[in-house]
Structure 1
Amino acid sequence: MATPVPAIAMPDGPVDDPAVWLAEDLERDERWIHRLSDGEIAELDRAVEAVLAKGLTAQRFIRDDFPLTALADTIAGWAHEIDNGRGFVLIRGLDAKRYDEDALLALYWGIGVHLGLPVAQNADGHLLGHVRDQGRDYQAKNVRGYTTSAQLKAHCDAADVVGLLCRHPAKSGGESLIASSLAVYNHIAKEHPEYLPYLMEGFHFDLRGEGATDNPDETTFHKVPVFSWFEGRMSCRFNEKTIVDGMRKAGQPLEGKALEAVKAVGELAMSKPFRYDMVFQQGDIQFLSNHTVLHARNAFEDWPEEERRRDLWRLWLNLRDGRPLDRNFADRMNTGPRGGVRVRAQAAE
């Protein structure tokens, strides 16, 4: 007798959540932008001076080492907004040119460790990484998009939150494109409900040689849902390229309605009225919820001078009191729920 397939949990109707928004909502209401006051910048400067005076550098100190008072409450508010509100914040007003690299890294890391717990972003164990063109071909096997200048389609990263600090913007292009994944879900539920069984069952994602084994063709051991309804909250995990590549590597190449469903998520996220275009200014810091916001990037042209080349500093963070997640949804890298990229043994030494 065949074992019955368990029913997939789904909401009764459209998702009602502050993270459901359209581009026009962000244009009309810019409360998602936090402009640092002189007092807040002075507080950050004092904290940077304190850690550097102790010989501590970014990735070498924890929240208690970076003393904040009023700003600590503000950052806690950002964490709440990211997980329970719109799903993102943009912090503006930081003059990046005032700081040398060590000081700016310490400032950014200090904000990050107040916001959450850093997670490894790659097999080299980087907790704070550079998003910049390394001359690699995004279409080559297991190449990650952040090491190229290519256009990146709508996707989520493998942590509760992704942060980007703009150290240097591109000569042209490279705009940050964001969309509410929950608004995309609501549209699909209304217009194409036939796609939901595929999206909520999920897919094997390609881990691009950075999984829990040394197999360069490793995929997630289980199918990870694109949309996961758990304890009354909807969360999203999406990357069209790693889904398509992962299902091919798993011997289950996508076709038919399943492929249509995956393509629909990416196309909707990058179309009106869902997509909002954001131009990074030098010193901007963007924090996004990976569970409710899809992000992408336009291709860019870089400056010829090495010191001016586009450089964004990236953090992956797990919130200390983040939303509950289904276990299979939360295990995105074969390293356990909310686990980051497995660090290679030689990198850890």
Structure 2
Amino acid sequence: MPATNAATRPQQPPVSVDDPSAWLAADLAADRSWIHNLDADEIRELDRAVEAVVGLGLKPGGFGRDQFPLTDLADRIAGWAHEIDQGRGCVLVKGLDPARYDDDALAALYWGIAVHLGEPVPQNAAGDLIGHVRDTGRDYHAKNVRGYTTRAEMKAHCDAADVVGLLCRHPAKQGGESLIASGIAIYNHLAAERPELIPPLLEGFHFDLRGEGVTDDPDETTFHRVPVFSWFEGRLSCRFNAKTIIDGMAKRGMPLDGPALEAVREVGRLALEPPFRFDMTFEKGDIQLLSNHSVLHARAAFEDWPEPERKRDLWRLWLNLRDGRPLAPEFADRLNTGPRGGVFVRGAA
């Protein structure tokens, strides 16, 4: 196994972090400015860009923002990037009608928005840049199964990129609501009410890589401890997934117990309860954009439609912002692929 990164002493965050991303559910409900409704001119601008790349035979992964020309909407998307990284950490884009596009055109549109936001990164070992969040019949509790391939409830977590995007191609018949919470607000609560739980969260844990690491070991974990909360250059960032933390520490032969286990469970519990939890129901065409450094997201279990063409299908993007916040080295390398690296792609080395 490659050598672990040199340990560094984590910087101590303030007891209370004053940041726009430290919101409660009531704050999001009261101020809807984080929701953007595409107007007719913006839809036409997207359609012209889609026509240009499709006409050239370009597909997602094969073109950048220069080949997807936007004018006024480019400035709007830059505003979304700022809101994601420097603001509340969440943006909801509404107004697309997926029925107007075939899959190739819709994928080109989605990719075009993504490359104006930043740089997409691989999200699984197959190298997928646009992944499908849908039920494949797998067992969520089986070893190394990733939750997005099941219809099970998914607990609060962050993904391994600056931003996660979800475009709703088809919603579920029932359930599947998106649940989001501010990791920064949860930190503030714990620092004030349960300060004894903060040290293990700052020290971090070895996360399970679920068989998608850089080695051939199905039990590979992060080589170094990745902090749940990381204070660096005046910003607090969050990295959390209770399942991969608990599984990863067990795989390292260091099963969690005591305050460390309680701290992990408490972060996950708070994210799904008032006043932190904010519920969203996906509608066709919605695009949800979340900062993985400040927002935890979860999902309710769902019941699918029986017809294959109607089954729940969210299109997922992981991307890194061009001017994203500075990250501490031990926090930025979260998949053993280097700072802000995506999932290691098999056969790519």
Pairing of 1:246-261 with structure 2 (within 5 A): 246-261=248-263
Residues 1:299 and 2:301 aligned together: yes
Question: How big is the alpha-carbon RMSD for the aligned residues of Structure 1 and Structure 2?
Answer: 1.0
Distance 1:268 1:256 in 2: 18
1:23 matched to which residue of 2?
A: 25
Deviation at 1:7, TM superposition (A): 4.6
Distance 1:56 1:249 in 2: 43
4+ residue runs over 2 A deviation:
5-8
Task: Classify the secondary structure of the residue corresponding to 2:41.
Answer: helix
Contact 1:59 1:128 in 2 (8 A): no
2:210 matched to which residue of 1?
A: 208
Deviation at 1:13, TM superposition (A): 2.5
1:271 matched to which residue of 2?
A: 273
Task: Classify the secondary structure of the residue corresponding to 1:177.
Answer: strand
1:323 matched to which residue of 2?
A: 325
Residues 1:126 and 2:128 aligned together: yes
Contact 1:19 1:85 in 2 (8 A): yes
1:165 matched to which residue of 2?
A: 167
| Cα shift readout 1:106-135 (whole Å, capped 9, x = no counterpart) | 000100011010000000000111000000
1:243 matched to which residue of 2?
A: 245
Distance 2:174 2:220 in 1: 36
| Cα shift readout 1:276-321 (whole Å, capped 9, x = no counterpart) | 0000000000100000000000000000000000000000000001
Task: Classify the secondary structure of the residue corresponding to 1:31.
Answer: helix
> Which residue type is aligned with residue 105 of structure 1?
A
Q: Bigger shift: 329-338 or 6-15?
A: 6-15
| Cα shift readout 1:171-192 (whole Å, capped 9, x = no counterpart) | 0000000000000000000010
Distance 1:258 1:11 in 2: 18
Deviation at 1:10, TM superposition (A): 1.6
Q: How has the CA–CA distance of structure 1 residues 275 and 209 changed in structure 2, closer, same or farther, with 3 Å as cutoff?
A: same
1:104 matched to which residue of 2?
A: 106
Distance 1:335 1:136 in 2: 27
Residues 1:80 and 2:87 aligned together: no
Report the number of matched residues: 343
Alignment partner of 1:35 out of 37, 56, 64: 37
Distance 1:40 1:251 in 2: 53
Pairing of 1:137-176 with structure 2 (within 5 A): 137-176=139-178
Distance 1:8 1:210 in 2: 27
> Which residue type is aligned with residue 307 of structure 1?
E
Q: Percent identity?
A: 72
Distance 1:302 1:212 in 2: 34
| Cα shift readout 1:122-168 (whole Å, capped 9, x = no counterpart) | 00000111000000001000000000000000000000000000000
Note the residue ranges of structure 1 that are not aligned, 5 or more in a row. none
Deviation at 1:11, TM superposition (A): 2.2
> Which residue type is aligned with residue 258 of structure 2?
G
Distance 1:31 1:218 in 2: 42
Deviation at 1:212, TM superposition (A): 1.1
> Which residue type is aligned with residue 218 of structure 1?
E
Distance 1:235 1:272 in 2: 21
Distance 1:91 1:52 in 2: 23
Distance 1:122 1:234 in 2: 27
> Which residue type is aligned with residue 265 of structure 1?
V
Task: Classify the secondary structure of the residue corresponding to 2:132.
Answer: strand
Contact 1:131 1:313 in 2 (8 A): yes
2:337 matched to which residue of 1?
A: 335
Contact 1:205 1:247 in 2 (8 A): yes
Alignment partner of 1:60 out of 59, 62, 75: 62
TM-score (norm 1): 0.97
> Which residue type is aligned with residue 126 of structure 1?
D
TM-score (norm 2): 0.97
Contact 1:155 1:295 in 2 (8 A): yes
